[in-house]
Amino acid sequence: MPFSPELKNELLKIKYHIRLLNKSIDREEYPLEALIVDMNWTENQFKACNKIFQKYDALVTKNGEVNSENFEFELKDQFDISKEKIRMVVNAFYKKDMWVGICFRYAEENQHPDFDDIFGI
């Protein structure tokens, strides 16, 4: 069923307003909220991401190590995202003090300037 022109215009306006609001998010104060909007995730997708981080953070806590390639593969497989996007996700969780074990381990094994905040540089 096609949308009426009025409904289509309202949807376009709402999308435009959301893009403007996204630009006004304080990314330092609200890194996860900004990430969710940037990634265009649903609540369920965000919960799925949390589960992956929780799983690998528990492995880091238990074993002191983790295979970051498996972690990366699981994120890529679940969300079809690039390494650059994975770095964004890792940074957002780290800034929110969530899953810091896997965030730090991943950053350590995948040295990149995007991780300077994690290392205090």
**Distance, CA of 37 to CA of 78 (rounded, Å):** 17
The 3-state secondary structure of 21-82, one letter per residue:
HHHHCCCCCCHHHHHHHHHCCCHHHHHHHHHHHHHHHHHHHHHCCCCHHHHHHHHHHHHCCC
- Tens-digit pLDDT profile for residues 38-51: 999 999 999 999 99
CATH architecture of the region 5-115 = Orthogonal Bundle (1.10)
pLDDT digits (tens, 9 = 90+) for 67-86: 889 999 999 999 999 999 99
Place of tokens 């376009």: 12
Query: For the segment 86-116, what is each residue's pLDDT rounded down to a tens digit?
Result: 999 999 999 999 999 999 999 999 999 999 9
Position 1 scores a pLDDT of 65
What are the structural domain ranges in the chain?
A: 5-115
What's the pTM?
0.85
Query: In degrees rounded to 5, what are phi and psi of residue 59?
Result: -65, -40
